[in-house]
Chain A
Amino acid sequence: MAGAWELVATELVETRYGALVGYATMLTGSRSDAEDLVHDALIAVFGKRRNLPNVGAAEGYVRRAIANKFLDRARKGGRERLALRRVAIKAEATVPGPEGPAADRSSMDQAMALLTAQERACVALRYMDQLSTREAAVALGISEGSVKRYVYDGIRKVSAAINIEIEATEHEWTSVSLKTEGAS
């Protein structure tokens, strides 16, 4: 008989697999890499003995795991980083559907491809998962200041790429003036 976690895992895959792959694709820039990432994240989340009461809770865990694993791979540098750059210049596959959304998707893909791995992860957590800066920092294991900086840099690049103007008040990062010891 399947355990409760297996039922949650099955339901999550059946109902949210596409959403998870879509989310991961915005990080990796490649659907096949995204599918690998989602698969690894699912195993990582459900491979631990933790209480996952429902699909919603599980999806949150899996999304954090996707962002974390994406950063882990980027941290290792090498092929993953190169792959990202290849994706950035790779022609988009033809997709069915109205031209508008397809073009929109393509421009966002290209805009995200301009970002570093850290910027992608932070932008995804802040703008897709709607996490707070603190929550994103905890999820990625980096400082809040770093999250702010990555989000600021990332959004600036995305905005420039898709021709949206940044309003000065909207960015999160503000410079910190350093004070040397003994200075007044």
Chain B
Amino acid sequence: MSDEISRRLEEAARAHGAEAETHADVARIAASVIGPARRRRRATGAATFAAACAAVAVFAGGSLAVMGALRGADVGPATHEGTPVIMSDAPLPTPQGGSDSPTSEQGKPITEYPPVAPSRGEGFPVAFEMRDWVWDYVGNGWSLQSYSASQGLDAKRHVTIPEATIYLVSPDGAAFELVTLPPEYSGAMRVASWQEDERGAHIVWDGDNTADPAVPAGAGVLDLTTGSVSPLVFSTPWGVSSTVTPLAASATGNELWAAFLGGHQRFYRYGTADGWTVAAVNDLESIGDRTADHRWDTAELVGDRRLVTRPDSAAVLFERRPWRNGPLEEFAVYNVNSGALVRSELQFSFPIEPDVVCTVTAWIGDSELSYDCGGKRLSFFTVVPVTGGSATAEYGEAVISGSKSAVLRTSTVGYREATSVSYLANP
């Protein structure tokens, strides 16, 4: 039986392989492998302390593109040194009404707390029960925090995971249990954005193939007062989307999402003023057809896919290439807040060979991007403006992360908290 299965697997694989080979341009594929691989080798070869720092900066900067979704002091500097963050094994914060207690937008510190909520088990924070009057205190310094679990990769059998729970957390670190979610929304559930004025949130969760029946991944609009979830789906020109994923959520409450259906994708903007609209990004040629060769798509990356979104989560990078990992022809930056799309055509100030491929390595402020370019004989870093029109790339020195130094918000680590990493799934 084993031999028979092996034989049939091999046969099926061979058939797929033969089909793939008839369509493959192996010379082009080899070139598209060697260029990025060479750049990786060069980067790892120069693994100095500075290089490591730069890599961490880029990585952490990417994660903050996501954390910007939680618009509050959870991404800003700590305002109260020494105030405890509630953890499952930490003592409850004592109610504080003194002068060192932070003041909300409404100017009122909490002086009395509701009863402690029943424990939800290991990993969950100790929290107070939610009361409607707590909302009156919510302002600067507060945050929404989610706690959820997922199936372990190495789990032998499907395990029942606890219900995901969302807490409202005060600047003092006091958590108030807002809502718990049903099992189908609980797998690795994350808050993608918080609509403070509506007392709502956009959330995403992972699917679970080990469950019977399988639980699909998805996203939804959560009412923070009732706990009800409305699954987020879009009516695309090709039908109702099967999957959606957030790409950016800015500090001012504007977002960009991608919706997928088969080989198609479409982008939607959520604006604080006008709700859901079709994003201007969809005007880019062939961006909706993921099977087309010559088309626009989110930025092509080797490695860190979080670079698609600017660290402040207010802009998303799109590129046009003749094929996957092919030479960069044009790029466009979509401003999540204004909804505007600025297209730039890449030009070089010096002659280059046609095999030179550029991949983005960093956002530099609001107006520039760093690209790492390389071909069979030429490799260089360059910084290009994103102001539209013709973007001229100069020959830059081979440094690890861009040829310009810029101060970026690169990481946030809470007191006695794990370092956050990106949870937005980029296409």
Chain A residues with a Cβ under 8 A of chain B: 2, 5-6, 9-10, 13-14, 17-23, 25-26, 31-32, 34-36, 39, 42-43, 46-49, 71, 75-79, 81-86, 90, 95, 97, 101-102, 104-105, 108-109, 112, 116-118, 123-124, 127-128, 130, 142-143, 145-146, 149, 155, 158-159, 162, 164-167, 170
Which residues of B have CB within 8 Å of A102?
15
C-beta contact mask, B1-18 vs A, less than 8 Å → 1, else 0? 110111011111111111
- Could you tell me the distance between the alpha carbons of A143 and B156 in the complex, rounded to whole angstroms? 10
Q: Do the beta carbons of B41 and A104 come within 8 Å of each other? A: no
- Could you tell me the distance between the alpha carbons of A22 and B187 in the complex, rounded to whole angstroms? 32
Query: In the complex where A47-B40, A49-B44 touch, is A128 in contact with B154 (Cβ < 8 A)?
Result: no
Nearest Cβ in chain A — how far from B374, in angstroms? 12
**Among the listed A39, A104, A108, which residue makes an inter-chain contact with B324, where contact means beta carbons less than 8 Å apart?**
A39
**Among the listed A49, A108, A130, A164, which residue makes an inter-chain contact with B11, where contact means beta carbons less than 8 Å apart?**
A108
Which residues of A have CB within 8 Å of B12?
22, 26, 104-105, 108-109
Nearest Cβ in chain B — how far from A94, in angstroms? 11
- Chosen A-B contacts, 28 in total, with CB atoms closer than 8 Å, are A6-B34, A6-B38, A17-B21, A18-B20, A22-B12, A25-B17, A39-B32, A43-B33, A43-B40, A47-B41, A49-B44, A77-B206, A78-B243, A79-B243, A79-B425, A81-B206, A81-B216, A81-B217, A82-B242, A95-B19, A104-B11, A105-B12, A108-B11, A127-B6, A128-B9, A145-B156, A146-B156, A162-B8
- In which size bucket is the chain B interface? 35 or more
Nearest neighbor of B302 in chain A, beta-carbon distance: A43
**Among the listed A81, A104, A142, which residue makes an inter-chain contact with B8, where contact means beta carbons less than 8 Å apart?**
A104
Q: Do the beta carbons of B44 and A48 come within 8 Å of each other? A: yes
Which residues of A have CB within 8 Å of B10?
128
Q: Do the beta carbons of B30 and A14 come within 8 Å of each other? A: yes
Query: In the complex where A77-B188, A128-B9 touch, is A34 in contact with B16 (Cβ < 8 A)?
Result: yes
Q: Do the beta carbons of B1 and A164 come within 8 Å of each other? A: yes
Chain B residues with a Cβ under 8 A of chain A: 1-2, 4-6, 8-21, 24, 26, 29-30, 32-34, 36-41, 44-45, 150, 153-154, 156, 187-188, 204, 206-210, 214, 216-217, 242-243, 245, 260, 262-263, 290-291, 302, 324-325, 376, 425, 427
- Could you tell me the distance between the alpha carbons of A41 and B111 in the complex, rounded to whole angstroms? 57
Q: Do the beta carbons of A9 and B425 come within 8 Å of each other? A: no
